[in-house]
Amino acid sequence: MSYAHDKHYEWIESAYKVKCSDLGKQVANILGYVGRGIYNAPFRTKKVDWANPQCIEVNWEQSMANWDGCALTNLIIECHRRMIRVSIQPNMKTMKIMFWQRNIRTGSVSDRLPNIEEMIKSQDEQWGRLTTAPT
């Protein structure tokens, strides 16, 4: 079963009788995908301020990996695709994950969020890797 759709926020709005901000909708959809259903995701959905238009914070209660389960990879890719800055911080026995909307791909560091392909290219250049296949 795929959880890759943009309807997870509807469950939040229906279950808690709240109106999600645009950012709240995006984050609910991302976390619903990453957590294999927003109702299954390992954080307390009711404690999140889904209406906040500036920043959404959750306390994730499980590990994340880049391959097996790939929650970490899915989180990073979806945030880049949707132009959402994500920050992961320690928080006692959980990981505090914070989300902010960005609106441009170029400009100052505090305003922009490059797409994932640009991030991979930048990292490859830093490591001196080829970014195109040799002919």
* Band of pLDDT at residue 85, cut at 50, 70 and 90: very high
| E strands in the chain | 56-60, 84-91, 94-101
The answer to whether residue 18 is domain-embedded is yes
Residue (of 88, 99, 115) closest to 50 by Cα position: 99
* Strand-pair partners of 59: 96
State the residue range of the domain holding 23: 8-127
Q: What is the pTM of this model?
A: 0.90
The answer to whether residue 32 is domain-embedded is yes
The answer to whether residue 133 is domain-embedded is no
- Indicate the average pLDDT of the chain: 93
CB 45 within 8 A of CB 38: yes
The answer to whether residue 74 is domain-embedded is yes
* Total tally of structural domains belonging to the chain: 1
The answer to whether residue 57 is domain-embedded is yes
The answer to whether residue 3 is domain-embedded is no
Is 80 exceeded by the pLDDT of residue 98? yes
The answer to whether residue 120 is domain-embedded is yes
Structure letter (DSSP) for residue 45: G
The answer to whether residue 96 is domain-embedded is yes
